[in-house]
Amino acid sequence: MANFVICVDSGDYPASLEVRKLYEVIADESGEKIDHVRIVDESGEDYLYPRKLFIPVNLPAAVERQLLAGAAA
């Protein structure tokens, strides 16, 4: 799974997910087993969501480093 995904459908979570927004994926083996991804949603907390709501995005390494560095700051 890519380190980032774009939300393409907010499903039953319109208050928690923004369509067309980029989200960082947090590794979660148990979530992967049930076809879910863990992300930090609009509440600021991390939750599992169905993988079908997202499309994986492969970003250039430099862009990914910048995004991750900005999140850590």
Give 46-69 pLDDT, tens digit per residue.
Answer: 999 999 999 999 998 898 888 888
Q: Are 39 and 51 in contact (CB under 8 A)?
A: no
Based on C-alpha coordinates, what's the Rg of the chain? Answer: 12
The domain defined by 4-72 folds into SH3 type barrels. (2.30.30)
Q: Quote the CA–CA distance of 73 and 16 in Å, as a whole number.
A: 23
The pTM (predicted TM-score) of the whole model is: 0.85
Q: Quote the pLDDT of residue 72.
A: 62
Query: Could you tell me the residue ranges of all domains in the chain?
Result: 4-72
